[in-house]
Amino acid sequence: MELDQAKFGLCKREVVDLLREKDINPTTQRIEIAHLILQKPQHLSADEILAELNREYEQVSQATVYNTLRVFVEKNVIRELVFAPDRIYYDSNTRHHHHFIDVETGKIYDISPDCVKCPEMSYVDDLKAEVFEVSLLMKGRIPKA
């Protein structure tokens, strides 16, 4: 049962329903964190999420944020993007898509799978590995308007 995660800007009641559907106990802090991340398609670091929460809501501890993000990733509420060990982002868009990073600003853009010719691989010979998903990370420069 693949939930339509292209829905953003959920109200808190809808967030509670979503968490329940994903078998996640909707604690107050989990609701706040999901509500924040699922506002729109976006890519946030754990520190950005923590800073944003503590500006808008009650104090939430770093441990709570990290634990909650882990649960959300496991239950496919959000996707974890590991660009580098020190560049990990949480993506509110769980649909298959690619990413483009603007090297000037560091901003991450979602790229529709339709825009990119991606190799349809199901097996990597070198590793004898089965492939579940191929996603691209593109880096480049966006011309100034």
Question: If binding is defined by CB under 5 A, does position 14 make contact with Zn ion?
Answer: no
Q: How far is the CB of 117 from Zn ion (least distance, A)?
A: 19
User: Contact region for Zn ion (CB under 5 A) — 67-75, 84-92, 114-122, 129-137?
Assistant: 84-92
**Category of 11 on φ-ψ map: left (φ > 0), alpha (ψ -120 to 50) or beta:** beta
Question: b/e per residue, 15-52, with b = 16+ CB within 10 A?
Answer: bbebbeebebebeebbbbbbbbbbeeebbbebeebbeb
User: Contact region for Zn ion (CB under 5 A) — 26-34, 45-53, 83-91, 114-122?
Assistant: 83-91
Question: If binding is defined by CB under 5 A, does position 44 make contact with Zn ion?
Answer: no
Task: Name which position in 73, 110, 113, 134 contacts Zn ion (CB under 5 A).
Answer: 110
92 exposure class (CB count in 10 Å sphere: 0-12, 13-18, 19+): buried
Question: If binding is defined by CB under 5 A, does position 78 make contact with Zn ion?
Answer: no
Q: How far is the CB of 42 from Zn ion (least distance, A)?
A: 8
Question: If binding is defined by CB under 5 A, does position 92 make contact with Zn ion?
Answer: no
Quick check: 140 and 116 in contact, CB under 8 A? Answer: no
Looking at the Cβ atoms of 45 and 93, the one nearer to Zn ion is 93
Question: If binding is defined by CB under 5 A, does position 48 make contact with Zn ion?
Answer: no
Looking at the Cβ atoms of 129 and 137, the one nearer to Zn ion is 137
- Give which of 119, 120, 115 is closest to 99, Cα–Cα: 115
Amino acid letter, residue 78: I
Question: If binding is defined by CB under 5 A, does position 91 make contact with Zn ion?
Answer: yes
Q: What's the rounded Cα separation, in Å, for the pair 58 and 32? A: 9
Q: Which residues bind Zn ion (CB under 5 A)?
A: 91, 93, 110
